[in-house]
A and B are shown apart, each in its own frame.
Chain A
């Protein structure tokens, strides 16, 4: 459940296609190639074994979703029950509600995070004193590097009913807000605190794009009498367009990831109705509750759907922006 959104887009020049060599040629060619390339194969061995065991190994466990799994009996001896685990899941309102909860929280996060990062990078770009610019960057990046466990502790302290945030609200004449225990507010607490943690680092990509824009374009716009606002609207934003589309597309591939680390550490049974997401449900039922097979059924569906979403988003990213991860 790590976040993998920090890679910058890579735009490859088209053309230069290399003639493809067939891998499985005649045995003699294979031996010839092996003689030349064996050191490279040897280098791959440790990582290959680790990945095979620990990344591909668990995929085998997915068959458990179709069994009435019994830890004492293990895979081989557990009876097959077909789709029984799935049928049970979809009869559970507690599971059904995690789907809209997940989508609402994660889509709101993506939209608000993108907007906040773009706006902040545009404003940061207007700071011309380079010392100040670096200083501001340094400060806003910090939360990104701190774990949600620690930040959850910070949030609990800040947002408690007698915490500083509520004291501030009261001093302004408002009413206490139950940020973490009111089901109608909890999702927004998650969304905004995630934006708070990530928007600063989200600017890295956008700032890199803005600084790569040719200054001559702005100079000629100034000569034509374009105001600052006009320059941003008609030059900077259109030139950032492809990157914004690309980042949003890649984020959509991760849409089932509504932030397990954050929500697990901040939610409580009072807010399950709006705050329980697929990942926290899976964890509670499957691991804490010991219902491995049911948890596995959730996990299988989640893995398949997110694989489809990620493949689609990588495909569109390639078609739209010529983005290639590998």
Chain B
């Protein structure tokens, strides 16, 4: 690169130090939780754990896997992600394709767009929504969590912009060969849209994994709580939840610190996010930039 003055060199050093400090503030809270979750009760009670486990133990994790409702809630969340992302993807694709057409090709396009756009700006709110779901009889079912938000309008717009950015010739060629709209969408567009689909699928996954409020409102039976809703109940009364463990767990519970038990479950709740994180990095940011620039 070009020459550097002394001032620039000094700035550079400070810049790197600043960056490292900022990164530490972002990472250390999570590392602290991890350290607490692996530490023995005596050290936690003495507030001696900082960023490294003291008196290493796996019991908080054994408790999460074997006792309480952690695993039940985990599987509810897995089921929710399966149905939720599936429904989201289906509805987004079926809506984004027609809406990516111009008004000449699809004369009702703007009316549909307005129909969906209005829902982004105005909504009935939580209470009528709750009454509606309970009138349909969907309380305590997984459908209450995955169908109502079936079409995430914002992600759909991103997908629509992706489709618009594709060269028109792609579709025209398929149409000339006699393919209709359905075949064109399934066989020509979907394969080239993979990065875009990955982006919006990740959005959908994140939403369904992280969402907790609907689970709390729509589920009366705690056995139906998705993971984040279950974790929310931990925030206030982990002690009470621990005491619900059966007799076979009492041995573990007796040696378990509340804070460690909770930290372990909070950390396990982050694991799926951290696992897809490399893909998030790759598609999320890049996909966001490409998808938003209209072609």
Contact = CB atoms under 8 A, between A and B. Distances in A.
Interface in A1-37: 1-2, 4, 6-10, 12, 18, 20-21, 23, 33, 37
Contacts of B112: 44, 48
A33 B106 CA distance: 8
Which of A9, A20, A57 has its CB near the most chain B CB atoms (within 10 A)? Answer: A57
Contact of A228 (B11, B127, B150, B209): B11
A30 B63 CA distance: 65
B232 interface: yes
Given A43-B98, A157-B33, 13 more contacts: A7-B158, A33-B107, A40-B97, A44-B95, A51-B116, A57-B124, A58-B129, A126-B11, A139-B23, A163-B47, A286-B127, A302-B125, A307-B122
B132 A61 contact: yes
B157 A153 contact: no
A88 interface: no
A170 to B, nearest CB: 10
Contacts of A314: 121
Contacts of A307: 121-122
Interface string A251-274: 000000000110001000000000
Interface in A90-140: 120, 123-124, 126-128, 132, 135-140
B82 interface: no
B217 interface: yes
Contacts of A140: 22-23, 26
Nearest to A23: B107
Interface string A287-323: 1000010011001101100010011001000000000
Contacts of B122: 59, 303, 307
Given A47-B150, A124-B19, A157-B263, A7 B128 contact: no
Contact of B123 (A39, A55, A147): A55
Contacts of A200: 26
22 contacts: A4-B120, A7-B154, A8-B289, A23-B107, A37-B107, A40-B98, A43-B94, A43-B98, A44-B95, A47-B116, A48-B115, A59-B124, A60-B124, A126-B11, A138-B281, A146-B270, A149-B232, A154-B30, A158-B29, A227-B7, A287-B126, A307-B122
SS of A interface (majority): helix
B285 A158 contact: no
Nearest to A125: B15
B273 A145 contact: yes
B104 to A, nearest CB: 7
Contacts of B115: 48, 51
B101 A40 contact: yes
B190 interface: no
A64 interface: yes
Nearest to B232: A149
A183 interface: no
B151 A51 contact: yes
B86 to A, nearest CB: 13
A50 interface: yes
Given A37-B107, A54-B147, A303-B123, A120 B12 contact: no
A8 B157 contact: no
A18 B26 CA distance: 49
A135 B281 CA distance: 11
B66 interface: no
A111 B294 CA distance: 29
Contacts of A135: 23
B124 A154 contact: no
A149 B225 CA distance: 14
Given A58-B128, A149-B232, A139 B95 contact: no
B56 interface: no
B249 interface: no
Nearest to B269: A150
Contacts of B126: 282-283, 286-287, 295, 299
Interface in B1-37: 1-2, 5, 7-8, 11-12, 15-16, 18-19, 22-23, 25-27, 29-30, 32-33, 36
Contacts of A299: 124-128
A170 B147 CA distance: 50
B108 interface: yes
B103 A18 contact: yes
Contacts of A55: 119, 123-124
B102 interface: yes
A123 B17 CA distance: 11
A261 B116 CA distance: 25
Contacts of A58: 123-125, 128-129, 132
A32 to B, nearest CB: 10
A86 B217 CA distance: 25
Interface in B53-110: 90-91, 94-95, 97-98, 101-108
Contact of B181 (A43, A123, A152, A222): A43
Nearest to B24: A139
A54 B151 CA distance: 10
A127 B16 contact: yes
A228 B113 CA distance: 46
Which of A7, A60, A310, A311 has its CB near the most chain B CB atoms (within 10 A)? Answer: A7
